[in-house]
Structure 1
Amino acid sequence: MSLQVGETAPDFTLPDQSGAPVTLSEKLADRVVVLYFYPKDNTRGCTAEACSFRDNYECFSDAGAEVIGISSDSVESHEKFAGRHELPFILLSDKDRAVRKQYGATTLGVVPGRITFVIDRDGVIRHTFSSMANIGPHVEEALRVVRELTAA
């Protein structure tokens, strides 16, 4: 079962698409974080989702949020995926799926799920959205919640 609204987001450190370590708590010191888990680089749905976050990245940034994608793909795969689709945000490699497991970001407990979490600067989960097929609301709802959080 995935983490729920009101729970504290577990901290973690994972390598980004360039191999540099990224720590969630360090990102939260500056901005709200939109953390989205996705199944696999370069698949149809995951590419559509990433490109939707890309197309709205400036809106997220202007609203005070950092977008971070996580899958179990390698650093090298993320680097190619980000380059191919001109993704301006961070992609993290969770090779052993430890962070995915911490967040419960699976479908039926085993299949890598498509779940988005909006985490406030205190590390509290303020919104979750889980859907493998309905990709649009991941971005739309996350942006709505970010704007509500940063306007308060």
Structure 2
Amino acid sequence: MLDVGDTAPDFDLTNEEGVVVTLDDLLAEGLLVLYFYPADFTSVCTTEACEMRDRHDDLRAMSVNVVGVSPQGRSSHNRFRQRYDLPFPLLDDRQKKVIRAYGVNGPLGLGVRRVTFLITPDKKIARRVVADFRVKQHIDLIDSVVEGLVGY
């Protein structure tokens, strides 16, 4: 798994609308909160996505982008975004190429770990949170960005 100080691997994945999104696109305006999650519509993943949604305006005001990545397809992501009014893209990694590149695949390569990375415009990992069931740790990272406590 990537750690603080590592270089974030480039990627190109499609969002829920079928548009290809790259790491460079997401970093064009500043910092990136890249969060990996196991599945759309599960209780913990829904809580995490809604917490991200509730902080999204504050993050955007600071030129911070947010994007979620999971192994579900575009149609699932589209329904999930619409149902919970998520203002950020969800990327389709059914092939798990980015999941593997960031080292967030689950035990024996099954599933996906709940991991959030804060990535700087020069593609360095500034912060990382690994907490499979403790959404609060991920949200605490987001809150520290909003409050200006995270320097990189």
1:52-91: CA deviations, max 9, x gaps?
Answer: 0001111211222000000010001000000000000010
Taking the TM superposition and a 5 Å limit, the aligned residue runs for 1:1-150 are 2-110=1-109, 111-145=111-145, 147-148=148-149
RMSD value, Cα: 1.6
- Supply the distance in 2 between the matched residues of 1:8 and 1:145 (Cα, whole angstroms): 20
Query: Aligned to 1:58, what secondary structure does the other structure show?
Result: helix
Unaligned 5+ segments in structure 1 are: none
Gap change, CA 1:79 and 1:98, over 3 Å in 2:
same
- Supply the distance in 1 between the matched residues of 2:142 and 2:100 (Cα, whole angstroms): 21
Query: Aligned to 2:34, what secondary structure does the other structure show?
Result: strand
CA contact (8 A) 1:116 1:142 kept: no
- Comparing 103-112 with 118-127, greater Cα deviation is found at 103-112
- Supply the distance in 2 between the matched residues of 1:57 and 1:121 (Cα, whole angstroms): 18
TM value normalised by structure 1: 0.92
Task: Percent identity, please.
Answer: 37
- Supply the distance in 1 between the matched residues of 2:137 and 2:41 (Cα, whole angstroms): 20
Unaligned 5+ segments in structure 2 are: none
TM value normalised by structure 2: 0.92
The alpha-carbon deviation at position 36 of structure 1 amounts to 0.1
Gap change, CA 1:117 and 1:109, over 3 Å in 2:
farther
Query: Aligned to 2:94, what secondary structure does the other structure show?
Result: coil
2:86 partner letter: L
CA contact (8 A) 1:117 1:125 kept: yes
